[in-house]
């Protein structure tokens, strides 16, 4: 699928931005957009030059989750196949080699919130609104709202959000580890750009290895997880990092790159 109708796929050098593009319905994911999103993620996975992927929504909103009106049109076991497609898509995002950043503004609910759970970084505006409202429509989350949220926020908050279904603020999302940084709406693009710049300055092999180890060891006992920290091959080939560490001047130069970024 190369000509997308409901998302925008923009590749600029090593950075790919995927923009959900149904702002008239808060970028809700119908069957067509869901299929396009999976296809776009597969394209990123195949692109060995991509180092950062940014996921965002068109207009002043991120994603309201599934287009629930469309559920009324589903027949037979279509719900099974759609949910499996959703789950495959979020797993693809979580397993991507590039660093992934969700830029969140406005509505971030249901499947939209679940999309952020598999991104490496989440930068959100202070006006963004979060929630898992599926229970109000007599359905259950299918993208990880029941399984992934407890890993971030704990079982108590996962039950509160999923069983009550109320909306909550970006400040609360940050407090319970769903968000890395809350910013003013006018600062969102700049913060994402700064974060992208910093990631591009890091050695790609080291970033890949670190992200892989973090993701794959997260659910293992410590003794098993430590295996991912053993360098089974030399540290990044062609890297000057270890040599730079010998010099105070070069150490200072490297540290300046990320000094005080999100220091508070």
Sequence-separated (6 or more) residues with CB below 8 Å from residue 50 = 11, 14, 15, 16, 44, 97, 98
Helix-strand-coil split of the chain, %, nearest 5? 50, 15, 35
Query: First vs last Cα of the chain: how many Å apart?
Result: 43
CA atoms within 13 A of residue 7's CA, in its CB half-sphere: 29
Give the pairing of strands 15-20 and 167-169: unpaired
Q: Which residues pair with 16 in a beta bridge?
A: 11, 53
174 is catalytic: no
User: Which residue among the candidates 32, 114, 174, 256 is catalytic per the annotation?
Assistant: 114
Is 114 among the catalytic positions? yes
What is the C-alpha separation between 68 and 25, in angstroms, rounded?
A: 11
Hey, is 175 helix, strand or coil? helix
Between CA 47 and CA 18 the distance in angstroms is 14
Residues 6+ apart with CB under 8 A from 181: 122, 123, 124, 174, 191, 262
CA 8 to CA 219: how far, in whole Å? 34
Rounded CA gap, 20 and 33, in Å? 8
- Exactly one of 49, 78, 88, 134 is catalytic; name it: 134
Q: Which residues are catalytic?
A: 114, 134
């Amino acid at each position: 699928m190369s000509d997308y109708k409901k998302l925008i796929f923009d590749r600029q050098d090593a950075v790919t931005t995927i923009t959900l593009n149904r702002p008239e319905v808060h970028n809700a994911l119908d069957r067509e957009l869901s299929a396009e999103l999976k296809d776009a993620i597969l394209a990123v996975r195949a692109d060995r030059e991509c180092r950062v992927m940014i996921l965002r929504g068109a207009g002043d909103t991120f994603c309201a989750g599934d287009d629930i009106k469309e559920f009324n049109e589903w027949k037979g076991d279509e719900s099974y196949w759609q949910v499996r497609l959703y789950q495959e898509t979020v797993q693809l995002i979580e397993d991507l080699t590039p660093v992934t950043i969700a830029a969140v503004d406005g509505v971030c609910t249901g499947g939209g919130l679940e999309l952020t759970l598999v991104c490496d970084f989440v930068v959100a505006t202070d006006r963004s609104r979060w929630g898992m409202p599926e229970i109000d429509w007599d359905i259950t989350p299918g993208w990880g709202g029941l399984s992934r949220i407890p890993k971030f926020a704990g079982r108590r908050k996962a039950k509160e959000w999923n069983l009550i279904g109320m909306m909550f603020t970006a400040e609360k999302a940050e407090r319970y580890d769903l968000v890395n940084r809350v910013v003013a709406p006018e600062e969102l693009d700049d913060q994402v750009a700064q974060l992208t710049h910093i990631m591009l300055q890091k050695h790609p092999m080291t970033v890949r290895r670190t992200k892989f180890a973090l993701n794959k060891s997260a659910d293992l006992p410590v003794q098993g997880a430590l295996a991912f920290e053993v360098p089974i091959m030399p540290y990044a080939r062609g890297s000057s990092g270890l040599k730079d560490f010998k010099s105070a001047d070069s150490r200072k130069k490297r540290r300046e790159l990320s000094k005080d970024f999100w220091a508070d």
